[in-house]
C-alpha cells in the first residue's frame, strides 16, 4: 500500500498540486482570505481564492527570502509594504470617483446596508492579502505562536460577528481544519529516546487522517444551543458611537431602497419596547417603484416634514359607528350602500393602546406604530408629531418615547362591515352620511366624516399620481384582475391579495440572490422566492392595479420577546437590526390606512441552530465520503483483480503470459529481477503445477512457442484463488498460534 501511495505521490498532477497548495502555512492563509472575501463578495469568492492560491505561492517564497537575509530582507519587506499600500490607495481613490462614500466609511460599515463596490472590494482584497499572509507566515515559520494564529483566525470571524450573521458551514469546517493542520505542521517534534519522527509519506498520511477525523467528529458531534442572555455582550461589541457616525454618513441613500431590507441577520439591538401585542413599526415610505427593482422617495408624502403626513387622530371604530348611526337615521341611505343590516348596531369598542420605545444609542428617529395618534416625549427630549417616525430635535443616548395607537387587528373584528364598503362609492357615502348626521344634530360625527373625506381624497389623489408615474406590467395587472375577480370591497380585495402568497407556495429565502435584471415580474412569474421586500413590493403594485391606494413601508417587525427593565420600566420586546421589515399599507374604505402582512413566514431556527444543522449535515457528508473512500480502499484488491481478469480475457497468449508474470510477481512482492523458476518456487506453498510455469516460460522467452489464451486464463484464475485460500488459512493459523501463546503465558 505504501509503495502504491508513493507511486501516486510521484504522479505529475499530484506533484504539481503539492507544489501549489502543499504548504499548510500557505493553505491556511488562503482559507483566511477566502472567508474574508466571501463576506465582501460571495458570488466571486472562487475567483479571489484561485488568485490567492498562486499569489500566496509567490509571496511565501518572497517571505522566505526576507527571513534568510538579515538586512536586505527587512528592507525588501518595507518596500513591498509601501508599494502595496500605495497601490491600495490608488485603487481606493479611483473607487471613490464612482462611489459616493469614502473607502474608510464603506469598510467599517456593515455590508448589508451599503451597495457593492468593485474597486473598494479589490482594495480590501489587497489589504487583507498582505496582512494575513504576513502574519500567518511570521507566527508559523519565524516565531511559532499558535495563540496568535488563533487570534488571526478571529479576524474573519469578527467580520461576520459584527453583523450577527453566520459564516457558511463549509467555510467554518475548512477554516478550523486548516488551523489544526497548521498546528500539527508547526509542532516541533524531535527524534529522541521516547519520540521517533517518521518522515515522509507515513507522516503526511497520519496528519491527513487526524485532520479528517477531527473535522468530521467536530462537525457531527452535537453542538449545544446557547440559551444564555447575550444582550450585554452584543451591545458591548456594537461600537455604537462609530456605528451611528457611519449610518449618518450614508444617510444619502435613504431616498431609495432595494431588496437589501430585511436580508441581514445582524443581532445588534436597536430598541427595547413595551406593548400589549406584536406590531409592525414604520420608519419610512417610498412612493414609486421602478423597473430596476427599487423604490424611490419622490412624492412629498414620503418625507418626514411633509404637511401630508399629519397623523389622523380618530379611531377607525368611530368612523364605522358614524356610518351605522347614519344608516339607522335614514333607511334609504342604508339600502343604497348595502349596510341596512348594520343600522343602529353598536360596534365592538376599540381601545387605545400604548407603545413604549427606548433606544440605547443616539437616535435621529424612533419608529412609530401604524396608527399612532399621540406621543409623549422622553425625559428632557423634544419631539415632532408625525405619521412616519418620531423625529428628535435633540437626539442623545437613551432616547425614549411613549406612543398611543389604535391596533390594526381591529379590522378583523369589523370585517363584515368593511366588506360592504368600496372606494368607488365611499366619497359619496361619506358626503351623504355627513349630511344625515349634521341634520340630526350629531355634529361631532359629522365633523369626523368631513375630516375622513379629506383623508380619502388625499389618498385617491396619491393613488392617481402613483398610477401615472409608477412601473406597470402585464403580469401585475393580469394577476390583480384574477385575484380580485368578483370582489367589490377594498378590504376583501386586499385580503385576497395578501393570502395569495401563502396559498400559492411562495418561499421566504434570505439566501436567495437576485440577478441584476430581476424585478417584481420575475418574482410573480418564475422565482416565487425572496424576502419581505419582494412580498411587500408585489402586494403594493397588485393593490394599485386593483384600484386601491397602497404604499411601500419600511420599518421593523416588533415580534421578538425579551423581558428587561429600563429605568424601572419593564419592556417585553427587543428590536434588532435583523428585525428590519418591509410591508404594505393599503387605504381601506371605512378604516383608513391599514398595514398588511403578505410575507410568507420563514424558517424559525434562530440563534445559530439552523447553522448548526447545516454544519452537522456537512459533517455527515464528509463522513459518507470518507466511508466511501475507505470502502474503495479496502476493496481495491478485489477491484484490481476483477479488472485484470477482464483485460486478460481479451489478450493473446503471448501478451497474457507477460501480464500474468508481472501480476504474480507484484502480488508476491518479488523484485523485477525475478525469473519464472523463482516465481514457481515462491508459489510452491499453494501451487504445484510445474507444467503451467514451463508454458509461461516458453511464451515469454521463445519466439516459436505457441499457447492457448483460454488455458492461460484458467491457470491464472486457479493460481489466484489458491493464493487467496492460502492467505485465509495462514491468518487462521496465526490467530490460533497467538491464542495458544497467550494461554501458555497465562498458565505460567
Q: Note the pLDDT tens digit of each residue in 245-261.
A: 444 444 434 455 666 55
Distance CA 556, CA 728 (A): 72
pLDDT at 323: 94
Min mean pLDDT across 297-311, 457-471, 609-623 is at: 297-311
pLDDT score of 484 more than 90 = yes
The answer to whether 713 and 648 have CB atoms below 8 angstroms apart is yes
Output DSSP code: residue 228.
Answer: S
Contacts with 477 (C-beta within 8 Å, 6 or more apart), sequence order:
545
| Number of other CB atoms surrounding residue 417 within 10 Å | 22
For position 299, what pLDDT does the model report?
57
Query: What integer is the mean pLDDT of 382-395?
Result: 41
3-state secondary structure of 126: helix
Q: In 3-state terms, the chain is what percent helix, strand and coil (to 5)? A: 60, 10, 30
Quote the cell numbers at residue 55: 499569489
Averaged pLDDT for residues 129-151: 85
Structure confidence at residue 301 (pLDDT): 56
Angle (deg, nearest 10), helices 118-137 and 24-40? 150
- Find the mean pLDDT for residues 490-509: 92
Question: What is the per-residue pLDDT for 541?
Answer: 95
Q: Domain boundaries in the chain?
A: 2-188, 257-606, 651-747
* Secondary structure (3-state) at 345: coil
Query: pLDDT-based confidence at 687, cuts 50/70/90?
Result: confident
Residue with cell string 407603545: 355
- The pLDDT confidence band at residue 241, using thresholds 50, 70 and 90, is very low
For 396-434, what is each residue's pLDDT tens digit? 445 677 888 999 999 999 999 999 999 899 999 999 999
Confidence band of 187 (pLDDT split at 50, 70, 90):
low
Statement: residue 384 has pLDDT above 60: no
Alpha-carbon torsion (265, 270, 275, 280), positive or negative: negative
The answer to whether 582 and 523 have CB atoms below 8 angstroms apart is no
Does residue 1 have a pLDDT over 70? no
pLDDT surpasses 90 at 596: yes
Cα 410-414-418 angle, rounded to 5 deg: 115
Average pLDDT over residues 67-95: 90
CB distance 431 to 333 below 8 Å: no
CA distance 160 to 154: 10
Residues 6+ apart with CB under 8 A from 220: 616, 619, 620, 623
- DSSP 8-state symbol, 255: G
- Looking at residue 395, what is its pLDDT? 43
Which of these ranges, 42-51, 223-232, 286-295, 539-548, has the smallest mean pLDDT? 223-232
For 291-319, how does the pLDDT look when each residue is reduced to its tens digit (9 = 90+)? 888 888 655 555 554 444 455 568 899 99
Q: Quick one: pLDDT band at residue 112, thresholds 50, 70, 90? A: low
Nearest in space to 309 (alpha carbons), one of 553, 541, 546, 542: 553
Model pLDDT, residue 161: 67
Residues 6+ apart with CB under 8 A from 238: 268, 269, 361
- 541: Cβ contacts below 8 Å, ≥ 6 apart: 289, 470, 471, 476, 520, 550
Of the two residues 605 and 499, the one the predictor is more confident about is 499
* pLDDT confidence of residue 240: 40
The pLDDT of 2-15, averaged and rounded, is 59
37-46, 148-157, 180-189, 641-650: least confident range: 180-189
Residue 285, pLDDT score: 84
pLDDT digit string, tens, across residues 544-572: 999 999 999 988 999 999 888 876 788 99
698 vs 146: which has the higher pLDDT? 698
Edge-to-edge strand ranges of the sheet holding 269-274:
372-377, 399-405, 353-359, 269-274, 569-576, 561-566
Question: Which grid coordinates are listed for 748?
Answer: 505460567
Half-sphere exposure of 367 (CA within 13 A, CB side): 25
Residue 421 gets the label, from left (phi > 0), alpha (psi -120 to 50) or beta, of beta
Q: Percentage of residues in the chain with pLDDT exceeding 90? A: 30
Q: Which three cell numbers stand for residue 199?
A: 518522515
Average pLDDT over residues 198-216: 61
What band does 17 get if pLDDT is binned at 50, 70 and 90?
low
The answer to whether residue 367 scores a pLDDT higher than 80 is yes
- Pull the grid cell for residue 326: 347614519
Contact 107, 120 (CB under 8 A): yes
Tens-place pLDDT, residues 714-728: 888 989 899 889 888
pLDDT for the residue numbered 741:
87
The mean per-residue pLDDT over the stretch 698-703 comes to 84
Q: What is the mean pLDDT of the chain?
A: 80
Of the ranges 232-236, 320-324, 345-349, which one carries the lowest mean pLDDT score?
232-236
Whole-number pLDDT of residue 8: 54
Confidence class for position 595, pLDDT limits 50, 70, 90? very high
The pLDDT score that the predictor gives to residue 163 is 61
Cα torsion 227, 228, 229, 230: sign = negative
511 CB-near residues (< 8 Å, 6+ apart): none
Q: Where are the beta strands (DSSP E) in 316-429?
A: 353-359, 365-369, 372-377, 383-384, 389-392, 399-405
Does 29 have pLDDT greater than 80? yes
Nearest alpha-carbon partner for 281 in 258, 298, 262 = 262
Q: Which of 14-28, 41-55, 172-186 is least confident?
A: 14-28
514 within 8 A of 521, measured Cβ to Cβ? no
Residues of the chain with pLDDT > 70, as a percent, come to: 76
**What was the pLDDT predicted at 192?**
46
pLDDT at 333: 93
**Residue 48's Cα: distance from chain center in Å?**
19
Residue 630 grid cell: 475507505
Is pLDDT of 479 > 80? yes
481 pLDDT above the threshold of 90: yes
Is 296 or 463 the better-scoring residue by pLDDT?
463
- Tell me how crowded residue 505 is: count the other CB atoms within 10 A of its CB: 8
Considering only 8-22, 310-324, 338-352, 516-530, which range has the smallest mean pLDDT? 8-22
Least confident range from 56-60, 592-596, 600-604, 669-673: namely: 600-604
Amino acid at each position: 500500500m505504501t509503495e502504491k501511495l508513493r507511486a501516486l505521490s510521484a504522479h505529475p498532477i499530484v506533484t504539481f498540486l503539492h507544489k501549489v497548495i502543499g504548504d499548510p502555512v500557505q493553505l491556511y492563509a488562503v482559507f483566511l482570505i477566502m472567508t474574508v472575501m466571501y463576506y465582501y463578495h460571495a458570488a466571486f469568492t472562487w475567483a479571489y481564492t484561485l488568485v490567492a492560491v498562486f499569489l500566496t505561492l509567490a509571496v511565501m517564497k518572497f517571505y522566505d527570502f526576507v527571513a534568510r537575509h538579515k538586512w536586505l530582507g527587512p528592507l525588501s519587506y518595507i518596500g513591498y509594504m509601501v508599494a502595496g499600500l500605495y497601490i491600495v490607495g490608488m485603487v481606493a481613490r479611483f473607487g471613490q470617483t464612482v462611489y459616493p462614500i469614502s473607502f474608510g466609511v464603506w469598510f467599517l460599515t456593515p455590508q448589508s446596508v451599503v451597495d457593492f463596490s468593485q474597486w473598494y472590494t479589490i482594495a480590501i482584497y489587497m489589504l487583507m492579502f498582505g496582512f494575513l499572509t504576513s502574519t500567518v507566515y511570521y507566527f508559523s515559520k519565524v516565531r511559532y505562536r499558535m495563540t496568535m494564529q488563533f487570534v488571526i483566525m478571529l479576524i474573519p470571524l469578527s467580520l461576520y460577528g459584527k453583523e450577527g450573521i453566520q459564516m457558511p458551514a463549509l467555510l467554518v469546517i475548512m477554516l478550523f481544519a486548516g488551523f489544526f493542520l497548521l498546528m500539527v505542521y508547526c509542532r516541533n517534534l524531535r527524534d529522541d529516546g521516547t519520540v521517533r519522527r517518521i518522515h515522509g509519506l507515513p507522516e503526511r498520511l497520519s496528519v491527513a487522517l487526524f485532520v479528517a477525523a477531527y473535522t468530521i467528529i467536530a462537525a457531527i458531534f452535537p453542538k449545544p444551543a446557547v440559551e444564555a442572555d447575550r444582550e450585554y455582550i452584543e451591545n458591548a461589541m456594537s461600537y455604537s458611537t462609530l456605528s451611528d457616525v457611519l449610518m449618518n454618513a450614508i444617510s444619502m441613500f435613504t431616498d431609495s431602497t432595494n431588496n437589501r431590507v430585511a436580508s441581514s441577520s445582524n443581532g445588534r439591538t436597536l430598541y427595547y419596547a413595551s406593548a400589549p401585542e406584536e406590531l409592525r413599526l414604520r420608519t419610512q415610505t417610498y412612493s414609486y417603484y421602478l423597473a430596476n427593482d427599487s423604490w424611490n422617495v419622490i412624492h412629498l408624502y414620503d418625507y418626514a416634514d411633509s404637511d401630508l403626513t399629519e397623523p389622523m387622530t380618530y379611531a377607525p371604530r368611530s368612523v364605522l359607528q358614524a356610518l351605522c348611526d347614519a344608516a339607522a337615521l335614514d333607511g334609504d341611505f342604508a339600502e343604497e350602500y348595502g349596510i341596512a343590516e348594520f343600522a343602529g348596531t353598536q360596534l365592538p369598542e376599540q381601545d387605545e393602546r400604548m407603545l413604549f420605545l427606548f433606544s440605547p444609542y443616539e437616535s435621529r428617529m424612533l419608529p412609530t406604530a401604524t396608527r399612532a395618534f399621540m406621543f409623549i416625549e422622553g425625559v428632557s427630549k423634544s419631539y415632532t408629531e408625525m405619521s412616519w417616525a418620531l423625529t428628535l430635535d435633540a437626539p442623545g443616548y437613551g432616547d425614549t418615547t411613549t406612543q398611543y395607537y389604535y391596533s390594526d387587528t381591529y379590522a378583523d373584528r369589523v370585517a363584515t362591515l368593511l366588506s360592504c364598503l368600496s372606494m368607488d362609492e365611499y366619497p359619496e357615502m361619506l358626503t351623504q352620511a355627513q349630511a344625515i348626521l349634521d341634520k340630526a344634530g350629531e355634529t361631532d360625527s359629522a365633523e369626523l366624516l368631513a375630516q375622513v373625506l379629506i383623508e380619502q381624497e388625499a389618498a385617491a389623489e396619491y393613488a392617481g399620481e402613483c398610477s401615472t408615474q409608477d412601473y406597470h406590467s402585464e403580469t401585475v395587472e393580469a394577476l390583480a384582475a384574477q385575484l380580485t375577480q368578483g370582489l367589490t370591497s377594498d378590504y376583501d380585495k386586499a385580503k385576497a391579495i395578501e393570502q395569495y402568497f401563502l396559498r400559492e407556495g411562495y418561499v421566504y429565502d434570505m439566501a436567495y440572490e437576485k440577478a441584476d435584471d430581476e424585478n417584481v415580474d420575475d418574482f410573480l412569474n418564475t422565482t416565487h422566492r425572496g424576502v419581505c421586500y419582494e412580498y411587500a413590493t408585489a402586494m403594493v403594485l397588485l393593490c394599485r392595479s386593483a384600484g386601491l391606494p397602497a404604499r411601500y413601508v419600511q420599518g421593523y417587525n416588533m415580534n421578538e420577546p425579551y423581558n428587561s427593565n429600563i429605568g424601572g420600566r419593564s419592556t417585553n420586546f427587543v428590536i434588532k437590526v435583523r428585525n428590519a421589515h418591509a410591508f404594505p399599507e393599503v387605504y381601506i374604505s371605512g378604516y383608513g390606512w391599514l398595514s398588511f402582512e403578505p410575507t410568507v413566514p420563514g424558517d424559525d431556527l434562530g440563534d445559530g441552530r439552523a447553522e448548526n444543522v447545516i454544519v452537522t449535515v456537512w459533517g455527515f457528508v464528509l463522513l459518507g465520503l470518507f466511508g466511501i473512500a475507505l470502502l474503495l480502499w479496502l476493496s481495491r484488491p478485489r477491484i484490481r483483480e476483477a479488472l485484470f481478469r477482464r483485460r486478460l480475457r481479451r489478450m493473446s497468449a503471448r501478451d497474457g503470459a507477460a501480464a500474468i508474470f508481472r501480476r504474480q510477481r507484484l502480488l508476491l512482492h518479488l523484485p523485477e529481477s525475478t525469473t519464472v523458476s523463482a516465481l514457481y518456487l515462491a508459489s510452491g506453498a499453494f501451487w504445484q503445477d510445474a507444467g503451467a510455469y514451463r508454458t509461461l516460460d516458453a511464451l515469454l522467452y521463445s519466439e516459436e512457442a505457441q499457447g492457448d489464451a483460454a488455458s492461460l486464463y484458467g491457470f491464472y484464475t486457479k493460481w489466484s484463488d489458491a493464493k487467496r485460500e492460502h492467505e485465509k488459512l495462514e491468518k487462521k493459523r496465526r490467530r490460533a498460534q497467538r491464542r495458544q501463546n497467550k494461554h501458555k503465558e497465562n498458565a505460567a
